[in-house]
Amino acid sequence: MAAEKLLTEVACKNTKPKKEVYYLNDGAGLRLRIRPDGSRSWLYRFRIDGKENTSSLGPYPEVSLQAAREKRLAAKKHVELGVNPSTAKRVAKAQQIIKGETTFGLIAQDWLAHNKKDWSSHHLERNEGLLRRFLLPKLEKLPIDSITEPLLFNILKPIYDSGIKESAIRTRAIGAQIFSFARATHRGTSNPAKDMADNPYFKKPQVKHFKALPQSDVGELIKELNKTGDMQQLDAKTVCALRMALYTGLRDNSIRGALWEEIDFESSIWTVPATRMKNRKVHQVPLPKQALIALNALKPLTFRNNKSPIFPSSGKYGVMSENTLRLALHRLGFKVTNHGTRSLITDVLNENGFNPDAIERQLDHQEQRQVRRAYLRSDFMGERIKMMQWFADWCDEQATGAKKKSNVTELKTAA
């Protein structure tokens, strides 16, 4: 029997359509199918378990004659193993899809989406920021199981060495959670970030407590905030936010994300939703007259509707960024943190005889003794209204040099 004549590229190019489908054979099961509409495609005929099957190898001329022959050889290897090439092709395609779904970037995105409903806005903002700044630039496109401990070390080491040690340590912890999430969702098998937890190179920096504003500097701060026009170094939003921190004792995150609907100007109460509170509970704080004056002055600049932010920005989250208030204090010459104003409030109010329970409730501190916490249900709002007005007046009087009576003195005088 004469050997089957092999096709040439010229013969394939010169094929013309006919009324019926016809085939040109290249031998060993490979054939070119020509349809009446002129379309051409490669087919591979083979037998498995005595049954004839056909597998498509792609269109011509997109798949050249030589490429079709190479595809036939690859398909033949599957046939020899008893695997239908079409089935193998579907499995390979599925694996490619799975591979795409197991990149670090995609899993990190899923991890954020899965957890953000349980996080405060501050926690979400910080995690997204560290992820976007340090991990995604080099890891986003990589399959998660291809990421090794040495690779991760070489990403974190420059961060740590630059002096932002806490950021490097937190970034590693975020990575560990993402790798753990990949394992939980059956898209990863290792956790190099967790394995690095005890790496002695990344020494945990010594804890530095938030530096409080000294009582002796309060008058100067008030004077700086009272400046207007060209004399004022800060924008109106930042000045107002610093006043809110001083007059309420709220944490930075609670202030920055504030919406106008949270302010009740009639009752002089600010209701902060649980999502922005550290204890994850709704918190109400009284607003002294100085805070209300500051908010009313800012309202024409930022109020659009009740849902609009009090301190908007053009950034990703639409509100004032995390470091704005700390940097503003530094710009004014006060090398303290905004969080440190809470320590100032605690010291001044305790030194002047106010109820410690009312002070703790104002600052949203949780009672550590469980039994006492169960019985301590009052919000002390009546006391807190008088207390925070007294404190706001005290702050103003530091700027004027007037001497304010302590709460104890006032109580004795009243008696």
Instruction: Please tell me the distance from the alpha carbon of residue 368 to that of residue 233, in angstroms, as a whole number.
Output: 41
CA 159 to centroid of chain Cα atoms: 19
- Assess whether the previous peptide bond of 214 is cis (omega < 30° from 0): no
- Does one domain contain both 341 and 219? yes
Is 262 within 8 Å of 253 (Cβ atoms)? Answer: no
- Does one domain contain both 260 and 359? yes
Listed in sequence order, the DSSP H helices in 352-406 are 356-362, 370-375, 381-400
Q: What is the CATH number of the domain that holds 140?
A: 1.10.150.130
- Does one domain contain both 143 and 258? no
- Does one domain contain both 168 and 297? no
Cβ neighbourhood burial of 172 (10 Å; 0-12, 13-18, 19+)? buried
Is 131 within 8 Å of 108 (Cβ atoms)? Answer: yes
The count of C-alpha atoms lying within 13 angstroms of the C-alpha of 386, restricted to the half-sphere facing its C-beta, is 11
CA distances to 40, 44, 56, 80 from 4, rounded to whole Å, are 21, 15, 21, 22
At 84 the pLDDT is: 85
- Does one domain contain both 285 and 376? yes
Other C-beta atoms within 10 Å of 136: how many?
A: 16
Is 210 inside a domain boundary?
no
**Which is it for the CA torsion 230, 215, 322, 203, positive or negative?**
positive
The letter for the amino acid at 63 is V
Q: What are phi and psi of 141, to 5 degrees?
A: -90, -5
Instruction: Please tell me the distance from the alpha carbon of residue 101 to that of residue 362, in angstroms, as a whole number.
Output: 47
- Does one domain contain both 163 and 254? no
Total tally of structural domains belonging to the chain: 3
Q: What are phi and psi of 276, to 5 degrees?
A: -110, 10
* SS3 call for 45: strand
The letter for the amino acid at 402 is A
- Does one domain contain both 110 and 223? no
- Does one domain contain both 264 and 380? yes
pLDDT digit string (tens) for the chain, length 415 residues = 445 578 899 999 999 999 999 999 998 899 999 999 999 999 999 988 888 889 999 899 999 999 999 999 999 988 888 888 888 777 766 666 555 678 999 999 999 999 988 887 778 888 999 999 999 999 998 989 889 999 999 999 999 999 888 899 999 999 999 999 999 988 888 999 999 988 999 988 765 555 778 999 999 999 999 999 999 999 999 999 999 999 999 998 899 999 999 999 999 999 999 888 887 889 999 999 999 999 999 999 999 999 999 999 887 778 888 788 989 999 999 988 877 888 899 999 999 999 998 999 999 886 555 544 444 557 889 999 999 999 999 999 999 876 655 664 454 444 4
Other C-beta atoms within 10 Å of 6: how many?
A: 13
Angle at 203 between CA 200 and CA 208, to 5 degrees: 165
Q: What is the CATH number of the domain that holds 51?
A: 3.30.160.390
Cα dihedral: 129, 130, 134, 138 (round 10): -70
Residue with tokens 């979400």: 124
Instruction: Find the largest Cα–Cα distance for the chain.
Output: 126
Is 130 within 8 Å of 174 (Cβ atoms)? Answer: yes
Instruction: Please tell me the distance from the alpha carbon of residue 122 to that of residue 143, in angstroms, as a whole number.
Output: 29
The count of C-alpha atoms lying within 13 angstroms of the C-alpha of 90, restricted to the half-sphere facing its C-beta, is 5
Is 287 within 8 Å of 247 (Cβ atoms)? Answer: yes
- Does one domain contain both 242 and 355? yes
Provide the domain limits for residue 399. 215-414
Is 314 within 8 Å of 249 (Cβ atoms)? Answer: no
At 253 the pLDDT is: 87
CA 165 to centroid of chain Cα atoms: 19
Instruction: Please tell me the distance from the alpha carbon of residue 206 to that of residue 387, in angstroms, as a whole number.
Output: 35
Instruction: Please tell me the distance from the alpha carbon of residue 115 to that of residue 96, in angstroms, as a whole number.
Output: 27
- Does one domain contain both 166 and 247? no
At 299 the pLDDT is: 95
Give the residue among 62, 387, 37, 48 at the shortest CA–CA distance from 247. Answer: 387
Is 206 inside a domain boundary?
no
Q: Give the tokens for residue 55.
A: 């597998």
Is this prediction's pTM over 0.85?
Answer: no
